[in-house]
Amino acid sequence: MPINPIRQPALLPIAGQQMVRPMFKSMGIAASGISAQRQRMEVIAQNIANADVTRGADGQPYKRRDVVLEAATSQNALFNPGNPAAQAMGSNGASGVFGSPAFDVPAMTDGPKAIEVPVVGAQGTNSALGGEYGVRVAGIAEDQGQGRLVYEPGHPDANEAGYVRYPDIDTTQELVKLMDAKRIYEANAAVFTTAKSMLRAALDI
């Protein structure tokens, strides 16, 4: 039987779009969740470590921080082969978990940060993605509260009335968030491992 040199239309890639197999896409989605939750755990650990810091580099009490997540798009997904930014990061030679710099958490300082975070689901902003490209860290939001006052007249940072302003951090709540991030991290890692095992089994067929 002669071989048909014309491929079936269902097998042809879409013009201008890099073809990503569903198996690799599932691994990319799980990897994006692992990366996001790892950074979330780093920020929570930083909050716990600075729960009693009354004077930072700017002379103010430490501000509690939260990682803001959003649905990733084809333009900013860390694990989408068609993303030029992801390709550029991969060509820098940086090594992180799974050999990708996307898992490396950027250095954070105690200084104030002003981050504009887009609202997920708003008009024209990731409203119809459905998690196709996973998740990404949109920014690190800083608590704008005044913090809690504790009466400690002998403290070096006490005011005229003897009160010290501490960061508005509840270590119990932070530990609950840390456990939540850990569970989600483990769930994504399990999905990644399962997808890898399925891909390996498919190669053996």
For 89-127, how does the pLDDT look when each residue is reduced to its tens digit (9 = 90+)? 444 434 333 334 443 444 444 444 333 333 334 444 444
Q: Is 49 helix (H, G, I), strand (E, B) or coil?
A: helix
- Phi/psi for 131 (5° steps) reads 70, 25
**106 contacts 38 by C-beta, under 8 angstroms:** no
Confirm whether 163 is domain-assigned: yes
Rg (CA), the chain: 23
Give me the number of domains the chain comprises. Answer: 1
Q: What is the pTM of this model?
A: 0.65
Nearest to 77 by CA among 49, 110, 100: 100
Expressed as residue numbers, the domain containing 56 is 52-64+147-167
For 173-197, how does the pLDDT look when each residue is reduced to its tens digit (9 = 90+)? 999 999 999 999 999 999 999 988 9
Confirm whether 200 is domain-assigned: no
Confirm whether 18 is domain-assigned: no
Query: What is the pLDDT confidence band of residue 33, given thresholds at 50, 70 and 90?
Result: very high
Type of residue found at 56: G
Confirm whether 161 is domain-assigned: yes
Confirm whether 153 is domain-assigned: yes
* Range 29-45 average pLDDT: 93
Confirm whether 155 is domain-assigned: yes
**28 contacts 79 by C-beta, under 8 angstroms:** yes
Q: Using CA atoms, how far apart are residues 46 and 117, in angstroms rounded to an integer?
A: 21
Confirm whether 8 is domain-assigned: no
C-alpha triplet 103, 105, 106: angle, nearest 5°: 135
